[in-house]
A = this chain, B = another copy of it.
């Protein structure tokens, strides 16, 4: 497998982390986002959305970090990571949507504004980040894992990076004890790897 990757991207880290957790490995191909490589023709031919990560596995190519988790889970992982039960699978996909929308436009955007000094709407982003963190905290107060299962699923892997990295966006994790405990549980999983900011 080959993963088009940016070390500092939480979305790429989702893929790297899950590949490691399921005992697989991938060649990492760095994409220079600072120089705009993701918006130039060679990369756009790989992914018209101009986003990392992109996974190549033989002739198969998968774009979108949530889609990559589904691909890896279906092809290589124990079914517990992505249950075939209709209700649990729906819950997981609900959290994948949450990762793509609420986590992206909240904690992840706050981090992009602060860490990469991109212009963002700070008031709106802070409100969205607060709302997203509170929803995750409430769920994890009631359940050990986001999809209400007895073991972690790809829902946890999709939400974890930008929740754990929230401090880099100026969001204090102290008011979120359930999130902090859940982060510790994820860090204890066999095969866990970190990223810069999450050592």
| Assembly stoichiometry (copies) | 2
A89 and B74 in contact (CB under 8 A), knowing A94-B66, A138-B48? yes
Q: Are A87 and B101 in contact (CB under 8 A)?
A: no
A105 cross-chain contacts in B, Cβ below 8 A? 101, 105
A93 and B121 in contact (CB under 8 A), knowing A60-B87, A100-B101, A101-B101? no
Q: Chain B CB within 10 Å — which of A97, A104, A138 has the most?
A: A97
* Residue of B48, B71, B74, B101 touching A104 (CB-CB under 8 A): B101
How many A residues touch B, CB cutoff 8 Å? 35
Residues of chain A from 3 to 62 with CB closer than 8 A to chain B in the complex: 48-49, 60, 62
Q: List 27 A-B contacts (CB under 8 A).
A: A49-B102, A60-B87, A62-B87, A62-B90, A63-B94, A64-B93, A64-B97, A64-B98, A66-B93, A66-B94, A66-B96, A67-B90, A67-B91, A67-B93, A67-B94, A67-B97, A68-B90, A70-B86, A70-B89, A70-B90, A70-B93, A74-B84, A93-B93, A93-B96, A98-B100, A101-B101, A121-B121
